[in-house]
Amino acid sequence: MVDAGIESGDYILIQFTGKLQNGDRVRPLLRYVTVKRLERRDGMTVLWPESRDPNYKPIVCVENSK
């Protein structure tokens, strides 16, 4: 998260909302604490890591079309 300007020891405030836009920083509900950059396109949601470390990969969620 250092590449996003979030340093060790920093605090972030979380606001729960259903109003998200591409480029927003989000805190997905996962097993671990992380902050990702949101992108929605073509029926998919992509959560991009803000790190240059190649070990951190984007999380891709395919939306259910039911």
Task: Report the topology of domain 1-66.
Answer: Umud Fragment, subunit A (2.10.109)
Q: How do the domains of the chain map onto residue ranges?
A: 1-66
CB 46 within 8 A of CB 23: no
Measure the CA angle with vertex 15, ends 18 and 24; round to 5°: 65
Quote the mean pLDDT of the chain.
80
Q: Which of the four pLDDT bands, split at 50, 70 and 90, describes residue 6?
A: confident
Q: Which of the four pLDDT bands, split at 50, 70 and 90, describes residue 65?
A: low
Is 70 exceeded by the pLDDT of residue 66? no
DSSP conformation class of 42: T
Please state, for a pLDDT cut of 90, what percent of the chain lies above it.
Answer: 3
pTM of the predicted structure, to 2 decimals? 0.55
